[in-house]
Amino acid sequence: MLRIASYEAADCGDPGSFLRHGGALMSGYFAFLLRRLGQFGLVLFIGINVAYVITHASPIDPVEQSISAVTSFGNTAPDAVEQMRSALRELYGLGATPLDQYRLFWSRILRADFGPSLSAFPTPVSTLIGRALPWTAGLLAVSTIIAWGLGNLLGGLAGYYQKSRTLRLMGVVAIGLHPIPYYILALLLLIVFGYLWPVLPIAGGSAMNLPQSLTMEFVASVLQHAILPALSLILIGVGSWFIGMRSLVSNIVTEDYVVYAELAGVRPWRILSSYVMRNAMAPQLTGLAMSLGGIFNGAVITEKVFGYPGLGSLLVDAVYAGDYGLVLGVTTISIVAVSAGVLAIDLLYPLLDPRVKVN
Amino acid sequence: MCCIRAMRLIASALLLLLFLSAPPSYGQGLPQDIPRKELLILENPEGTIKNAGWFNIWAINAGSQSNGLQQVALDTLWYIDPEAGLDGAWDNSLAADKPQYNSDFTEMRVNLRKGIFWSDNVEFTADDVVATVMTQIMHPGMRFSAVMASNVASVEAPDRYTVVFKLKHPNSRFHTNFTVRWGAVWILPKHVFEKVDDPLRFNFNKPISLGAYELHSYDPNGKWYIWQLRRDWDRTTLARFGKPGPKYLAYIDPGPPDKRVILQLNHELDVIHDIAPEGMFALARQSKTTRAWFKGFPYGHPDPTLPAVIFNTQNDLFKNPDVRWALALLIDIKAVVMAAYRGACTISAIGVPPTGAHPETYHQPMEEWLKSFEIDTGKRKIRPYDPTIGKQIADMLRPSMGEQIPSDPKEVARAFGMGWWKPDPQAAQELLEKEGFAKRNGAWTTPDGRLFSIRVMVEGDLRPVMTRAGTMIVQLWKQAGIDAKIDLAQGTLPTRRAAGDFDTLIGWSVETWGGHQDLSYFLDSWHSQFVAEPGKSQPLRNWQRWSSPALDKIIEEIRTVDFDDPRSIELGKEYIKLAVKEMPTIPLMAYTVFTAMDQTYWTGFPTAENPYTNPVPNWGNSRYMFVRLKPAS
């Protein structure tokens, strides 16, 4: 548990007292760390089990999906389909008892092995995720951080310089963009920059026929292809951070210590950065950690609209194909990432904000 | 405030830099280092391929099929084109002539072409065909393992260019496994697979081609594949028809329909596989260079596939043909085609798609029988067939579409179909009452007094056109007092369809060759020997789970006659008559595919005026298109 401490200070005049106090703090922090790690493990165990149960309760049968995909266009005799069905059940490991399947799942998870994908058999799930993850992580992490940074910066400025016309206008734009359904905005960008004024690529992660290697040409192509999807995410994302930060700052600027700092002649930028925004950062950092953890779900609409590679489309296709191995792989990574993000913030809070201490 | 000024300055500079540095027209991003005039860009409707580096098409469901692999890199013994074909619908591809069966259809001999080479300079021989069959049989779980294992007793190559199949039981249609409709059993390279320990776990990357193109490059993220014309293209079967026009083919995932339209308007997608009717109309309005199958309305190519209302005939409510007929008579097909396709489709009252060779073989000859066909409602006899419905649809569209709608009756029939069942709510009421149903306070109840409820299963946005058709049919049935509801299955449809977990579904259980009159492609699977018990998985394609001794008799006779025997046409007509009387499915229309072809860089695409092949680019047959394409001047 964390709590905001009252303004009690250690007796700095007594070194022994300080050490005793520091030692107690460290011991308390260590106990907190252990407790928090235990919670982290429990959350992972429960979360992954829930994901396992839900995916296995899916009404979509991966064998039927495979057979449907194979026979939709082919001239397969009906009697052969039954043979195909039993061969696939054996191949996919679906003939084992539910308990054996569950044991196999956990034995694999503990080795960071999600088994083979059923809709791309026998390719391992980890290979498919490994191909898509860098694109998702790159696009979403960068756009989340930019949206977070921009939203907080502008929100902080808008909350502090409440009379600035430019900032008020920015506020109107950010708040105006925020409620627009994402796909509408994405489609609008696509039409404007892909058709009416075709200056930006509207599909793919890089140019066609360009080898994926660390060359300047490839990096430039990746950046150029990321502009529209990233812009769409930033434009939509910046609003919520802006609103949150502006509200926090608007409250803080009325605090006595800010008024005293102004009266004492501290420069406005220093007041804003060191006294106001820093104090408003705690909830925003929590939000950032959760957003960054959440990127491992992918951004399905972004990927679909802009044809951008990533985990979101992989996850959706896996759901439709009844590919529980792949669904579990993506969701497990997401569960771990979100939990780890929250854990990291919890552990860092006492170090980042001196008012927060371990109870 | 200085930081605000600095931010304004930085933002302005960034914007300026972004747009000054961007090329004047970027759109999609064309392949690097490939001249556009040598490149044909086609849509791969499979979308993004998650396992992009997998080219072993013989392993089940592991990678892409229509990324160009089956269209241009692989080959097999025969092709049947759904349209006229370059030299007739039937094409002896790797085979030198037609299959030769013995008298009781337990042996099939195939003579192979000489001088055909794999792209690694190894000659194609009978050993490849034998290896294709034996590899499948020895490894259960491969794509064609079951069908080969259940049919083939032995396969031998008495010499380099002859293959003899000995079959486990008589099968006059065994060759159709090696005959491309959309796909088929593709021949694998023996000299590659014989070195592989486990063919199920072999990715076949880089693929060795037997077709006229070989792999140039591909996106590890599965967005695009580029194929290059082989230097020795003249040592492939396609060379009989000339040199393919495009040196490069790119099969891409262009994304959602809006983007496909944008890309074609930007001339960066030459062939759109399929698009919503509205997208096709937009292209027809805005692009002077876009061409579809039909020059004007209804644009799209009617596939040899027949969407229908499929009853679950194991459900007590739908066991009775009178009930099925009553539901058919409550459907206004004009409303359905307007809802599904905005009128841009070809209707069919009978259980054969109105496309390819079928109108001449089945629809036109059956017309007189259909006009005289009668139903006994219990109170009177009616003749439900209205031969003018196709014309009525054309007339209905003419005020808004103008001269795009043909006026020549033959053209109208070809584009919109011939007749269908005229809506007759009174006859439907009589048929339902005859079977003990009753209408109370405007709502129909079943003979045991329960509300007459019907769920119509549709796939949702995975197949929007069929979903629109289903929604309209639900509305029509509701208007008649039936408690009809849409049953949105989305991705669960294949599982539920196989399990029989539906009342009715909008889908198809009829698919034909199109270019050949034989109906066994789908009809053989309608034999009652394949109908599963309720609750058990039903093998394709008899999703209606309909058992009929009369139909079994027809199917059993078809099995004994040769594929090309005219008797099979007569038997096909008997099936049509039986299906009309029994109505196990209510046929609606051909599955129209709105394939849009941009003529900015390439001309010579197949069209209704020049129907030398199917333009739909994921079909194996679409390879024939490439030899007719010429660079636009």
pLDDT at B260 over 80: yes
pLDDT at A7 over 50: no
Collect all residues of chain A within an 8 Å Cβ-Cβ radius of residue B34.
209
A120-129, B320-329, B431-440, range with the lowest pLDDT:
A120-129
B138-142, B368-372, B393-397, B480-484, range with the lowest pLDDT:
B138-142
- Residue B490's closest CA among B455, B458, B537? B458
CB contact under 8 A, B28 and A202: yes
Q: What is the reported pLDDT for A162?
A: 87
CB contact under 8 A, B255 and A307: yes
> What does the pLDDT look like over B152-175, one tens digit per residue?
999 999 999 999 999 999 999 999
Please tell me the distance from the alpha carbon of residue B459 to that of residue A228, in angstroms, as a whole number.
32
Collect all residues of chain B within an 8 Å Cβ-Cβ radius of residue A191.
258, 262
Q: What is the reported pLDDT for B194?
A: 96
CB contact under 8 A, B539 and A64: no
- Whole-number mean pLDDT of chain B? 93
User: pLDDT grade, residue A5 (50/70/90)?
Assistant: very low
Whether residue A283 is preceded by a cis peptide bond, meaning omega within 30 degrees of 0, is no
Whether residue A122 is preceded by a cis peptide bond, meaning omega within 30 degrees of 0, is yes
Strands of the B162-167 sheet, one edge to the other: B100-101, B107-111, B162-167, B152-159
User: pLDDT grade, residue B318 (50/70/90)?
Assistant: very high
Structure tokens at B12: 């302005």
Q: Where are the domains of chain A?
A: 2-57+104-252+281-358, 62-95
- Residue A129's closest CA among A301, A304, A341, A317? A317
pLDDT at B612 over 80: yes
Class of domain B26-55+203-299+596-631: alpha beta
Are the C-beta atoms of B112 and B125 separated by less than 8 Å? yes
Strands of the B308-311 sheet, one edge to the other: B483-488, B453-458, B504-507, B308-311, B585-587
Nearest CA in chain B to A316: B491
User: pLDDT grade, residue A164 (50/70/90)?
Assistant: confident
Collect all residues of chain B within an 8 Å Cβ-Cβ radius of residue A81.
146, 539-540
| Parallel/antiparallel/unpaired status of strands B453-458 and B483-488 | parallel
Please tell me the distance from the alpha carbon of residue A163 to that of residue A165, in angstroms, as a whole number.
6
* Rg of chain B in Å (alpha carbons): 26
Angle between helices A15-56 and A98-109 (to 10 degrees): 140
> What does the pLDDT look like over B397-418, one tens digit per residue?
999 888 889 999 999 999 999 9
B26, B182, B221 ranked by CB distance to A198: nearest: B26
Residue B317 per-residue DSSP state: G
How large is the average pLDDT for residues A338-352?
Answer: 82
Q: How many CB atoms lie within 10 A of CB A97?
A: 8
In the beta sheet, which residues pair with residue B540?
none
Q: What number does CATH give the domain B302-592?
A: 3.10.105.10
Are the C-beta atoms of B450 and B465 separated by less than 8 Å? no
pLDDT at B108 over 70: yes
Q: Where are the domains of chain B?
A: 26-55+203-299+596-631, 302-592
Please tell me the distance from the alpha carbon of residue B515 to that of residue A19, in angstroms, as a whole number.
91
Please tell me the distance from the alpha carbon of residue B92 to that of residue B405, in angstroms, as a whole number.
38
Cβ within 8 Å of residue A58, ≥6 positions away: A319, A322, A324
Structure tokens at A288: 């950032």
B19, B27, B253 ranked by CB distance to A194: nearest: B27
> What does the pLDDT look like over A193-218, one tens digit per residue?
988 888 888 888 898 888 888 899 99
A72-81, A292-301, B48-57, B176-185, range with the lowest pLDDT:
A72-81
> What does the pLDDT look like over B10-69, one tens digit per residue?
555 555 555 444 444 444 467 878 999 999 999 999 989 989 999 999 988 778 999 999
> What does the pLDDT look like over A30-40, one tens digit per residue?
888 888 899 99
User: pLDDT grade, residue B540 (50/70/90)?
Assistant: confident
How large is the average pLDDT for residues B545-560?
Answer: 96
CA distance B23 to chain A (A): 6
Nearest CA in chain B to A122: B201
Q: Which amino acid is at A141?
A: A
pLDDT at A248 over 70: yes
Q: Number of C-alpha atoms within 13 angstroms, CB side, residue A296?
A: 21
List the single best residue of B9, B20, B48, B198 to mutate versus A (max A Cβ within 10 A): B48
Quick one: which H or E segment has residue B564? none
User: pLDDT grade, residue B321 (50/70/90)?
Assistant: very high
Topology of domain A2-57+104-252+281-358, CATH: MetI-like fold (1.10.3720)
Provide φ and ψ at B164, rounded to 5°.
Answer: -120, 120
% pLDDT > 90, chain A: 25
CB contact under 8 A, A164 and B51: no
How large is the average pLDDT for residues B480-487?
Answer: 97
Are the C-beta atoms of B151 and A42 separated by less than 8 Å? no
pLDDT at B302 over 60: yes
Q: What is the reported pLDDT for B3?
A: 53
CA distance B88 to chain A (A): 21
Collect all residues of chain A within an 8 Å Cβ-Cβ radius of residue B29.
201, 203-204, 207-208, 221, 225
% pLDDT > 70, chain A: 88
> What does the pLDDT look like over B205-258, one tens digit per residue?
999 999 999 999 999 999 999 999 999 999 999 999 999 999 999 999 998 888
List the single best residue of A209, A225, A272, A303 to mutate versus B (max B Cβ within 10 A): A209
How large is the average pLDDT for residues A179-190?
Answer: 90
Q: What is the reported pLDDT for B329?
A: 98
CA distance A87 to chain B (A): 5
Q: What is the reported pLDDT for B151?
A: 92
CB contact under 8 A, A198 and B147: no
Collect all residues of chain A within an 8 Å Cβ-Cβ radius of residue B30.
207-208
CA distance B511 to chain A (A): 9
Q: What is the reported pLDDT for B11?
A: 55
CB contact under 8 A, A304 and B256: yes
CA distance A351 to chain B (A): 29
Q: What is the reported pLDDT for A22?
A: 57
Q: How many CB atoms lie within 10 A of CB B529?
A: 12
pLDDT at A354 over 80: no
The three state secondary structure string of B543-555 is CCCCCCHHHHHHH
Q: What is the reported pLDDT for B7?
A: 55
